[in-house]
């Protein structure tokens, strides 16, 4: 993960094979010595003498790492708990043994993804890629269906019907907002600053749902957040 914070200087974009000739900072593999990495990633190390990498570039890379680290959240699959994720903890503890504040602050793991309660498979014709799904249902409807797919370690179930329903629900919501805020006749509004009992009940319930939804999202409970923020909001 630490490498990702400086990869834009080393590889740039569309350079998955690490072709050094495409390095935006013109950095060669041979230039990446232990002294260079120590300066970038560790504290208390001096600027490496005689490095082919300009001091200004090294300082930018060091600042980039210090800006992004530590990682607040690492999201991955549940099957990586006993290997990749555990080793990441060991690696951070070994490299930054004197800076535990740079160790990962949190992990969130999830199951695999099913489509309409079936395992994704090209042979079944139900294999969906993210961009394909967004183009078909829209980004908002895709987020809606992903949030509704589940919050636990069980495999998430992306339902096409939920994505389709989300298009209708979100479109109706947008139309209602436009009708109330844009198309309505202002002369029909009640005037004055005083709130009656029903106004206060509505405002309180809205604020309660906003706080409950925010809390769910902060805890990565997206399905429950969707229920509180979208479904129960309609009950107001």
Report which secondary-structure segment, H or E, holds 156: strand 156-158
pLDDT-derived band at 235, boundaries 50, 70, 90:
low
Supply the DSSP string of 167-208, one letter for each residue.
HHHHHHHHHHHHIIIIIS-GGGSPPSS---HHHHHHHHHHHH
Res 110 pLDDT > 60: yes
pLDDT computed for residue 96 by the predictor: 97
pLDDT computed for residue 233 by the predictor: 60
Average pLDDT over residues 128-132: 92
Q: Is the pTM of this model over 0.85?
A: no
Cβ atoms of 95 and 130 within 8 Å: the answer is no
Average pLDDT over residues 194-214: 92
Q: Which residue, among 148, 185, 176, 191, has the nearest Cα to 236 in the 3D structure?
A: 176
Residue spans per domain, the chain: 3-68, 74-110, 112-189, 192-236
């Amino acid at each position: 993960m630490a490498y990702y914070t400086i990869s834009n200087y080393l590889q740039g974009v569309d350079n998955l094979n690490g072709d050094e000739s495409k390095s935006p900072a013109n950095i060669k593999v041979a230039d990446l010595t232990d002294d260079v990495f120590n300066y970038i990633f560790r504290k208390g190390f001096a600027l490496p003498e005689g490095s082919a990498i300009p001091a200004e570039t090294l300082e930018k890379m060091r600042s980039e790492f210090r800006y992004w680290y530590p990682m607040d959240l690492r999201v991955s699959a549940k099957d990586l708990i006993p290997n990749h994720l555990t080793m990441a903890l060991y690696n951070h503890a070994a490299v930054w043994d004197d800076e535990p504040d740079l160790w990962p602050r949190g992990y969130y793991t999830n199951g695999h993804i099913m489509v309409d309660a079936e395992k994704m498979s090209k042979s079944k014709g139900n294999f969906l890629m993210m961009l394909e799904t967004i183009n078909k249902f829209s980004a908002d409807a895709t987020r809606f269906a992903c949030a509704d797919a589940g919050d636990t370690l069980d495999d998430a179930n992306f339902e096409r019907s939920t994505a389709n329903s989300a298009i209708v629900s979100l479109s109706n919501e947008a139309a209602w907002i436009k009708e109330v805020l844009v198309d309505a006749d202002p002369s029909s509004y009640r005037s004055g600053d005083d709130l009656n009992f029903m106004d206060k009940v509505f405002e309180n319930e809205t604020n309660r749902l906003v706080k409950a939804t925010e809390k769910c999202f902060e805890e990565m409970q997206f399905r429950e957040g969707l229920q509180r923020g979208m479904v129960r909001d309609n009950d107001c």
